[in-house]
Amino acid sequence: MTTKKGRPHRHAELYKTLHEGALSAAPFALRITRHNDVPPPVLVIKERRARDGDEGDARTGHLQDRGRLHGDSLRRLLPIVRTIASRARNEQDVPLEVDAFLSEEGMRTQRTLVLDEEAGAKLGIIIKLQERLTDLDRSELLARRVATFSREEAGYWFSRITHYGPVANRWAVSGLRVMLCGQGKGPDAEVDSMLTKLRARQ
């Protein structure tokens, strides 16, 4: 049935053309995978970092996991993730069509997809900040607000929550989370109001 529709074949062609040969230098990557401790699928955001002691270009380094998204949070945030991913482009300014893989069908196959700096930083912030949130309204609010960041803003805030050591990173995650979606549990009229406005604009 799926073969008749041609979707798996299209995904395979897209992956081979736009992703397979570009992963070795990608600044960020999004891995569609499975983990034994949570239901599939799982999205893992990866950032390329220079190896220890290497002061050269980070593109010579390796991809490091920066967080994962799954379960109810994935279902709630997937439309925003798709929108951000759909804007990723390669160095030749060709769309990477990452969103084509973020369908129910596309996420059945484990793949690692190339992301550009902007999409990678935005998704990295969202995935990192939502990891300990149980309030899905707050998760959606922070994701929608991060989606409005410029490339420079996304790069700055991503570096603040990942590149300054365990303690400083933890404090930055907590501070940025509060700045983007407040704090507390349960219904919040202000969160509802901000979400309504952002949904209407986006």
Axis crossing angle, helix 117-130 with helix 166-181, rounded to the nearest 10: 90
Lowest mean per-residue pLDDT among 29-38, 89-98, 179-188: 179-188
Q: pLDDT digits over 109-165, tens only?
A: 999 999 999 999 999 999 999 998 999 999 999 999 999 999 999 999 999 999 999
Query: What are the tokens at 81?
Result: 């993730």
pTM for this predicted structure: 0.90
Handedness of CA 20, 46, 98, 157 (dihedral sign): negative
- Which SS3 state, helix, strand or coil, does residue 163 take? coil
Query: What are the tokens at 84?
Result: 């951000």
Mean pLDDT (whole number) for 42-66? 78
User: What single letter denotes the amino acid at residue 83?
Assistant: T
In the structure, what pLDDT confidence band is assigned to residue 23 with cuts at 50, 70 and 90?
A: very high
Distances (CA, A) of 81 to 13, 144, 146: 22, 9, 11
Q: How far is the C-alpha of 140 from the C-alpha of 198, rounded, in Å? A: 10
Strand partners, 49: 62
Q: pLDDT digits over 150-188, tens only?
A: 999 999 999 999 999 999 999 999 999 999 999 876 678
Mean pLDDT (whole number) for 38-43? 96
pLDDT of 4? 43
- Checking if the pLDDT of 3 tops 80, the result is no
Mean pLDDT (whole number) for 28-48? 97
Q: Quick one: what percent of the chain has pLDDT higher than 90?
A: 84
Query: What are the tokens at 56?
Result: 């050269």
Q: pLDDT digits over 4-16, tens only?
A: 445 667 899 999 9
pLDDT of 111? 96
Q: Specify whether the CB–CB gap between 46 and 29 falls below 8 A.
A: yes
